[in-house]
A and B are shown apart, each in its own frame.
Chain A
Amino acid sequence: MKRSKFVSISLLLLIVSLFVNACSPSDPRADSHKVRVGVAFPTSGNLAKIGQSCANGTQIAADMANARGKGPKIELAKVDVPTAVTGVHEVNRLILKEKLQLIVGTYASPISLAASGITERNHAVLWEVAATDPRLTRRGLKYVFRPNPDATMYGPATIQFLEEVVAPELGLKNGEMKMALIHEDGDYGEGVAASTKKAAKKAGIPIVEEVRYNAKATNDMSSAILRLKNAKPDIINMVQYNTDAQLFWKQAEQMDLNAKVFIGNGAGQSSDNFGQTFGDAANGVLDTSSAISINPRALSPEMRKIEEEFQKRYKKKFGVEPDLIARLAFSSAYILFHDVIPKAGGTDPDQIRKAALSLDKPIGSTLVGWGVKFDESGQNTRAAMSVMQWQGGELAVVYPEKFKKREPAMIPLPKWSERK
């Protein structure tokens, strides 16, 4: 008697709980309290600086998504992937041993290409937040998503800025603006430079010099600078990492390299270390990139709050201001943690894909100004670029119109001898 009562009550409870579960899919926390997400960035080796920022940005994104409590609680499993082969090995570990189905990573293109092969084969998602190699999303992989722009988007953005802002300012036609390129010869430098050359050709802007160098083995830039000097360009377009960007700028001053416009592409000129090192001497340098800090009026009210909270949390947790790459990683990871995972109700790759493809957010709805609309290949088609400028020791967006915090200044850039 007693026993049958116990059984029937348990049965009833079971049915009720099943019923409750089935009826309340709107609250996914009921069936999945938490999900684990792999985070793979190069946090040691020569990419450590950037990789660490990415990992930090991703961490804050998870913290904030958890604080919002919209979806399952997100736990991060962080790994260090300094090279492609460690990338393969670690992503294998996350997927096969830790049984994760979703990896956020990886910053460097070779690592990303290698890791995406592993995730795809094992039916897991790679959410790439920083790598720019266009091949990543052009290989027909089903489970790769990239909210940030790829390398082919840098060139057109720079050229558009030159056409719309610089040309009128200098009073030159496209065909009269001589441009010189200096870029590192790695995947990133080559990719961005190729897209710049293509876009320049289309716009009829002549390229008068192209200097390639190895960022890891260059201790002296004077030959490169002499070549640039000889070509007498109006515009110098740089694609550089951190140390080489600093060396280049120091020697540019020493050797009195002048041009009307110096414009970089992400990385070197957008690093906080660039401003810290040069102070006022950095002023006037432009940089095409995914915006570091756009004008709040271009952001949705919700994003404005998130922006503030991100700043505060980052500063509190890591003791420094977030740099560009940390923001970029935050912005891209936040889309995943805040929008995609709750919608997918977990980390099932097919659900993630469905949820990601269904996102449709207008320009200005992310922290860095983009919208979100993934195409079938997993590339965000609303990833926008903006142009920033160092002004008064701060990097501020000056273009496009909608995002700009400040007016573009110092065009043409005064000669070194006329500065200070």
Chain B
Amino acid sequence: MMNVMTEVKKQRNFAYPSARGYGAAALLLTLLPFLLQNQLYYLDTLILALLWASAAGAWNLAGGYGGLLSLGHAAFFGIGAYTSSLLFVKLNVSPWLGMVAGAVLAGLMGWFIGMITLRMKGPFFGLATIAISEVLMITAVNWTELTQGSQGVNIPYKPGFVNMAFDSKIPYYFIALAICLVPYLLARWLKESKFGYELMAVRDNEAAAQALGIHTVRVKVVIIAVSSSITAMAGAFYAQYVTVIEPYHEFSFSVSIQMVLMAMIGGLGTASGPIFGSLVVTGLDTFLRDVFQGAQGGIQAMMYGSLLVLVVLFVPEGLIPWFTRRFRSGKGEK
């Protein structure tokens, strides 16, 4: 428990900005898409960054705060993408409702997975989640009547609010921002709620938490379910934004890993870490693609891999905690 307390204190600077800070941030976030209206490519980059930030943030709830190192969150991402797209394409259900349906379905799935993986720890939990997302991938490929198999689902572009399809990129930005705020606010809440303390206690020492009377099973299962639901929302948004989904990508290991990496780079178990991590990774990716355009494919991926290694070697706790520490120590010296 001590661990948790000091951690909360440590992050006060970044995680709890002042009221004025809030106002400024809100204003900036609202104005940003309009400022970028003539820089649509950067707006597109920003939307993708927010999309991955929501998924990474959702992962972070279970992975960062709960210590449940899932390597198969693509399962939920895929469930979200498939549920909303199939409902829309086959039954003409609005993707807004589809997103909710996907979140509920993924939540139930998360609940189930949480129950069956309770005894697993560390790497075993991770490997089990990889296996689960692979199982879903194979199901999606082979259950052709439902999913259209490996040909994937192509979402017809019919602009309109109900269809969650727009001519302008600005509405997409605000949807992505809204989804992204869900895990962020939840993470903030975790830091000051009883449930959050229980969760972090379970993460830090399960046996001790149990001894203190915390219902560890319930805590873990709830956080996996919540994390899965939000990941599914990100998946549903992805499907609407990209308009094509296919099992070999949506349920892939690389999608799972992307969430994990962004959260880790930003800082595990911090509210703003995944957002920051996503901005850094997406921004860097965009920048590298710009610099190396036309070059043999692979160079930018190599730089990306090297960055990961460098983060592990030099900023192992993640960028947000690292900045916070620097900021604090800088102040202390004055």
Contacts and interface: CB of A to CB of B under 8 A. Distances in A.
A and B touch in the complex (CB under 8 A): yes
A85 B249 contact: yes
Interface in A203-260: 214, 216
B243 A117 contact: yes
Interface in A161-218: 185-187, 189-191, 214, 216
A82 interface: yes
A114 interface: yes
Interface stretch (A18-26, A42-50, A368-376): A42-50
B169 to A, nearest CB: 9
Contact of A190 (B41, B45, B149): B149
A328 B105 CA distance: 44
Interface string A25-55: 0000000000000000011110010011000
A121 B167 contact: yes
A216 B249 CA distance: 12
B163 interface: no
Given A44-B298, A80-B300, A185 B142 contact: yes
Interface string A61-87: 000000000000000111110111100
B170 to A, nearest CB: 14
A120 B158 CA distance: 12
A12 interface: no
Contacts of A77: 293-294
B44 interface: yes
Identify the interface centre among A77, A89, A189: most chain B CB within 10 Å of its CB: A89
Interface in A355-390: none
Interface residues of B, number: 38
Contact of B151 (A96, A117, A190): A190
Contact of B244 (A97, A114, A191): A114
A79 B244 contact: no
Contacts of A186: 150, 248
B150 A114 contact: no
B249 A84 contact: yes
Given A92-B40, A214-B141, A84 B296 contact: no
B198 interface: no
Given A85-B249, A120-B157, A93 B298 contact: no
A76 B295 CA distance: 12
Given A96-B40, A96-B44, A185 B154 contact: no
Given A93-B41, A114-B244, A187-B151, A51 B141 contact: no
B297 A135 contact: no
Nearest to A88: B242
Given A121-B167, A185-B150, A52 B289 contact: no
Given A78-B293, A96-B40, A214-B141, A187 B301 contact: no
B238 interface: yes
Contact of B242 (A84, A97, A133, A135): A84
B246 A79 contact: no
Given A89-B48, A96-B40, A187-B150, A83 B249 contact: yes
Contact of B157 (A96, A110, A117): A117
Contacts of A42: 297
A80 B156 contact: no
B154 A90 contact: no
A354 interface: no
B316 interface: no
Nearest to A184: B150
A80 B44 contact: no
B126 interface: no
Contacts, number: 102
Contacts of B154: 113, 135, 139
B152 interface: yes
A85 B44 contact: no
A48 B301 CA distance: 13
Given A110-B244, A114-B242, A121-B167, A185 B141 contact: yes
Given A89-B44, A89-B48, A43 B244 contact: no
Nearest to A85: B242
Interface in B154-181: 154, 156-157, 167
A204 to B, nearest CB: 25
A385 B78 CA distance: 37
Nearest to B48: A89
Contacts of A120: 157
B246 A84 contact: yes
B297 A43 contact: yes
A322 B129 CA distance: 43
B151 A191 contact: yes
A91 B327 CA distance: 39
B289 A90 contact: yes
A190 B150 contact: yes
Contacts of A187: 150-152, 246
Contacts of A90: 289
Given A43-B297, A82-B297, A190-B149, A121 B44 contact: no
Given A82-B297, A190-B151, 5 more contacts: A51-B297, A77-B293, A89-B44, A93-B290, A135-B154
18 contacts: A43-B296, A79-B289, A80-B297, A80-B298, A85-B242, A89-B286, A92-B40, A93-B286, A97-B39, A97-B41, A109-B151, A110-B152, A110-B246, A113-B154, A114-B242, A187-B151, A187-B246, A190-B149
Interface of B: 39-42, 44-45, 48, 138, 141-142, 149-152, 154, 156-157, 167, 238, 241-246, 248-249, 254, 286, 289-290, 293-294, 296-298, 300-301
8 shortest interchain CB distances as A-B pairs: A43-B297, A44-B297, A80-B297, A97-B41, A96-B41, A96-B40, A114-B244, A78-B294
